[in-house]
Amino acid sequence: MANAETSEDAHTATIKELITFMHPTQRLDLKAVALTHVLSLTGSEEGKKAILTLNDVLVALFNLTNDDNHTVAKDAILSLINLSAEGEGAIRVYETAKSLIPAFPLISEAIKQITDEKSKLADPWTMVLSNLTRSEKLVEDIIIELEKDSKTLPSLLKAFTKLDYNNEKARLHYLAPIFCNLTQSGRGRKLACNAKYDFLEKILPFASYEPSIVRRGGTIGILKNICFDPMYHSIILNEKDDILHAILYPLCGPEEFTDEENDKLPLELQYLPETKTREEDPDLRKMLLESLLQLCATKRYREILRSKSVYEILREYHKWESKFGKDKECLLACENVVDILIKKEEEIGLDNYKEVDVPEDVAHKFVKEDNEYLQNVL
């Protein structure tokens, strides 16, 4: 413990010496060297802790994000990425920016850079905003800031969905985790499901976007968050089948179904080619299966899922997972859905699973059974 404190004190002393050289009007070479040192310190826990206790350093970093020199500005933003990587750091960075007089417009600056087609700093700013929105303590405040201008969300959606949006070749993949983080909040889910934005319709194709697991995973996370809120099940399981298709497509392989089974499937899932492969990441497969489980909450939507051959898709998926994927948690998640869909409603005997009050001892029993399954399967 003493060694850690000594190391942190040493970092603090070093950083205080560097603050003088981090003023925006300082010579470029001095700013660049000082920032290089600060950036390197943000790579260690002791260094981050030391910096986060010094308001002057955070203020200097905020100011240098707008430096005329691209390298200096980028290093300042990269430092903020590292400092906000953990929850407490994110809160400290956000609250420090907000407490200044005048306040540093951290969120609006990030949005401005992300939506600027000519910005060379768009990608690092998406990572800062992704870190900040991950905090449950900050997400509501950030959503309020986003809602101040009705053009903000459409602009972010345009930047996300147009793959050649940024002229400086920024990929903007981290917009997907940002959107996902926003939907952990009820207010964020309401925003995402607001028909005037066509938010879900625009992001759905990226649930199967092979070039980037970040973009793909963030999109699947959005779908999962919305599925966990029964308020939006009617939007998810609508006549267009587009959201259900986005959830099921990554779980589908090239298997052939009978004509009768195919006729029940959403149109885009019928007669898939022999080259069709499944989602390669087990965490994402599990998220998709958990989304389906949430949609099984009520009788009405269980019947819709059965009518769309969801059981048949999961039947083939389970065979594949058992033989090739071999992820125990995915198998359990699949079986949890199948166990509900194969039952007749008379056997289930209730309309809404979410309204059932499960006694604590029974809940522990279910957890124990799941753990035993995970130990013994495969």
Task: Please give the full DSSP string across 337-355, using - where no structure is assigned.
Answer: HHHHHTS-HHHH--SBGGG
- So what's the pLDDT on residue 7? 57
Looking at the structure, do residues 238 and 344 belong to the same domain, yes or no? yes
- pLDDT computed for residue 3 by the predictor: 54
Query: What is the reported pLDDT for 254?
Result: 95
List of the chain residues with pLDDT < 70: 1-9, 355-375, 377-378
Q: Which of 82, 104, 126 is the last residue of a domain?
A: 104
pLDDT of residue 372: 62
DSSP assignments along 89-117, one per residue: HHHHHHHHHHHSSSPP-HHHHHHHHHT-T
Q: Do 99 and 109 sit in the same domain of this protein?
A: no
Length of the chain: 378
pLDDT at 373: 57
Question: Quick one: pLDDT at residue 172?
Answer: 98
How high is the pLDDT of residue 44? Answer: 92
Q: Are 240 and 363 in the same domain?
A: yes
Domain end, chosen from 83, 104, 125, is at: 104
How much is the pLDDT for 363?
47
pLDDT value for 362: 43
Residues 166 and 269 in one domain: no
Q: For residues 152 and 181, state if they share a domain.
A: yes
Task: State how far the Cα of 341 lies from the Cα of 309, in Å rounded to an integer.
Answer: 10
Residue where one domain finishes, among candidates 104, 127, 157: 104
DSSP reduced 3-state for 298: strand
For residue 1, the model assigns a pLDDT of 44
Query: CA angle, corner 136, sides to 178 and 208, nearest 5?
Result: 30
**Residue at token pair 């099940």:** 233
Beta bridge partners of 298: 352
Number of domains in the chain: 3
Shared domain check, 323 and 222: no
CB burial class (10 A; 0-12, 13-18, 19+) of residue 331? buried
- For residue 16, the model assigns a pLDDT of 84
On whether both 23 and 149 belong to a single domain, the answer is no
Domain co-membership, 218 together with 295:
no
The backbone torsions φ and ψ at residue 259, rounded to the nearest 5 degrees and listed phi first, read -60, -40
Tokens 């939506």 label which residue? 115
Are 327 and 271 members of one domain? yes
pLDDT at 228: 96
> CA 130 to CA 165: how far, in whole Å?
19
Host domain of residue 127: 105-227
Same structural domain, 221 and 304 = no
Q: Which residue has the tokens 């066509």?
A: 198
Query: Nearest Cα to 104, choosing from 128, 85, 88?
Result: 128
15 and 142 both lie in a single domain: no
Q: Looking at the structure, do residues 122 and 57 belong to the same domain, yes or no?
A: no
Q: What is the CATH number of the domain that holds 183?
A: 1.25.10.10
Burial of residue 47, with CB atoms counted within 10 A of its CB: 0-12 exposed, 13-18 middle, 19 or more buried:
buried
Sequence-distant contacts of 120-124: CB under 8 A, at least 24 apart: 120/70, 120/74, 120/168, 120/170, 121/65, 121/70, 121/73, 121/74, 121/77, 122/159, 122/166, 122/168, 122/170, 122/172, 123/170, 123/171, 123/172, 123/174, 124/74, 124/77, 124/78, 124/81
Q: Which pLDDT score, from 0 to 100, does residue 2 have?
A: 46
